[in-house]
Amino acid sequence: MISRRKFINLLIASFVIVSSKETFAEGKKIKKYKLLANPTEHSFSNDEQLTKLWLLNNSCPGPLIIAEKGDILEIEFTNLLDEPTTLHWHGISNLNSMDGVPYVSQPLVETGETFVYRFPANETGTYWYHAHNKAWEHVARGLYGPLVITSTSNNSLGRRDILIVADDWLMNNNNQVDEESFGSLMHWSHAGRYGNRLSINGKFSPNIEIPSYGPLRLRFINTANARILNFSLLDNNSLDIIAIDGISCKPFKAKKIILGPAQRVDILVEDSSQLKSLFEVSNKEPLKVADFIPNDPVIEDHLNLIDPIIHHQVPALINPKFIEIHMQGGAMGNLSSAIFEGEKKELRDLALDHSKLWAFNGNIGHYDFQIAKVNLGDLIILKIWNDTNWPHSMHLHGQHFWVNSKEFGGQNRFLLRDTYLMERGEKAKFIFKANNPGDWLFHCHMLEHHASGMGGIISVV
């Protein structure tokens, strides 16, 4: 039996759809949306049992939020879950008060409450939004969606501009999210929560309709808790990458797309008639995860497939402030003890008593752990050493950073990213100008790693 309260909540949710109302204020266009989080059932496949998820507007993934560069986004978020949560706008150089990190930039949105996010859309590109309270569970249950900022005024992406929102689900034999495994120390101490089913745009092995010929843009987003995804079209010798983490770049070629959790990559396909299937190629045998289906008549809507390239420059390295971050912990690691809540504790006690397994500079990280305080306008170089036996998808809130990326094989290249996949043992330098004031979270986006200690705050004052 469903309770009266849940029935009313579900009834309300059934009438809430994503809105795209536009108003104007101070010369800016305001794009207004409504998002509602509630428990619902979802069909990943027509021939399988419905799956109980937590979704936004009953949609998996959540609805596309789209705006034009220069717009102001206003999102009214209502929480009808039995747990508090927040929303983070991943990759947006946001106002600190709108960043969505509980205990740092906003209070939790409790059950039945509404919070209005309002912030400018300053950069074109592919972004996404996701829950940021107990993210290791809330994201795994489905609380996320795509966000795209375009260079022209649109209420939707054209038929030649296609989202590939990928997720990795850990399902039990009843086709339900494996709830018993939440909080597993095995996941938290190893690679993170890896799943056994891969969805594309909320479906298992979907057909993706495309025009029968002509150019096409594919926007890849990895929303998985922890799995590193490798995508290939197989029939193509190389892929033309045109944007990284939302930022347009000088096009370059790669044989496959490697996406750590939370990363995004956009590619341009010259002729969609060459597309047949999409494959995940992490293992020896490629796994077909989607088919591309030509769908005529063709609409000529490909005039703005490539965003204008803004030639961002690596800042001149004059009087930089260095911040060293030594990452340790996890299974088979070299961390024997760390400081937690002001006391030095053995790793065994940290793991068994507190589910804490990872550290920055000998400290178990959390929202109240300050990595550093810097002045507005400082040039910052984060010198990061991944001294663990596991890769980590490192995300800095509030800004992009330059990094000498090793992610695409062959030669290294300087890229502007907000999330960088660091291999075990790797040392890297993240370079950025601290021009966005506030307390900004820096953490591993293997969400179990963050929950168990790999995170902290960089304050820009």
Domain ranges in the chain with CATH number 2.60.40.420:
4-153, 166-294, 321-460
> What is the homologous superfamily of the domain 166-294 according to CATH?
Cupredoxins -  blue copper proteins (2.60.40.420)
CA dist 54 → 85, 109, 165, 449 (Å)? 11, 15, 17, 22
Fold of the domain spanning 4-153: Immunoglobulin-like (2.60.40)
- Residue 5 has what pLDDT? 42
Long-range contacts for 315-321 (Cβ within 8 Å, ≥24 apart)? Answer: 315/379, 315/402, 315/431, 315/432, 315/433, 317/379, 317/381, 317/431, 318/379, 319/379, 320/378, 320/379, 320/380, 320/381, 320/431, 321/374, 321/378, 321/379, 321/380, 321/381
pTM: 0.92
Asked if omega into 297 is within 30° of 0 (cis), the reply is yes
Contact 158, 166 (CB under 8 A): no
- Residue 234 has what pLDDT? 80
pLDDT along the chain (461 residues), means of 10: 39 43 67 97 92 98 96 97 98 96 96 97 95 98 97 82 97 96 96 97 96 92 98 83 92 92 96 92 94 77 64 84 98 96 95 96 95 96 98 96 88 92 96 96 98 97 96
- Residue 297 has what pLDDT? 59
What is the β-pairing status of strands 125-131 and 87-90?
antiparallel
- How far apart, in whole angstroms, are the C-alpha atoms of residue 238 and residue 255? 4
Asked if omega into 251 is within 30° of 0 (cis), the reply is no
- Residue 148 has what pLDDT? 96
Contact 244, 251 (CB under 8 A): no
Domain 321-460 class? mainly beta
**Which residues, 6 or more positions from 4, have their beta carbon under 8 angstroms from its beta carbon?**
none
**Which residues, 6 or more positions from 231, have their beta carbon under 8 angstroms from its beta carbon?**
164, 166, 220, 256, 257, 259, 278, 279, 280, 281
Contact 255, 410 (CB under 8 A): no
The 3-class SS string of 94-121 reads: CCHHHCCCECCCECCECCCCEEEEEEEC
C-alpha closest to that of 413 among 402, 404, 421, 400? 404
333-371 b/e (C-beta count within 10 Å ≥ 16 → b): bebeebebeeeebebeebbeeebbbbbbbebbbbbebeb
State the burial class of residue 162 (Cβ atoms within 10 Å of its Cβ: 0-12, 13-18, 19+). buried
Place of tokens 């790797």: 426
Q: Show the tokens assigned to 244.
A: 């990284």
The 3-class SS string of the chain reads: CCCHHHHHHHHHHHHCCCCCEEEEECCEEEEEEEEEEEEEEECCCCCCCCEEEEEECCECCCCCEEEECCCEEEEEEEECCCCCECEEEECCCCCHHHCCCECCCECCECCCCEEEEEEECCCCEEEEEEECCCHHHHCCCCCEEEEEEECCCCCCCCCCEEEEEEEEECECCCCCECHHHCCCHHHHHCCCCCCCEEEECCECCCEEEECCCCCEEEEEEECCCCCCEEEECCCCCCEEEEEECCEEEEEEEECCEEECCCCEEEEEECCHHHCCEEEECCCCCCEEEEEEEECCCCCCCCCCCCCCCCCCCCCCCCCCEEEEEEEEECCCCCCCEEEECCEEEEHHHHHHHHCCCEEECCECCCCCCEEEEECCCCEEEEEEEECCCCCEEEEECCCCEEEEECCCCCCCEEEEECEEEECCCCEEEEEEECCCCEEEEEEECCHHHHHCCCEEEEEEC
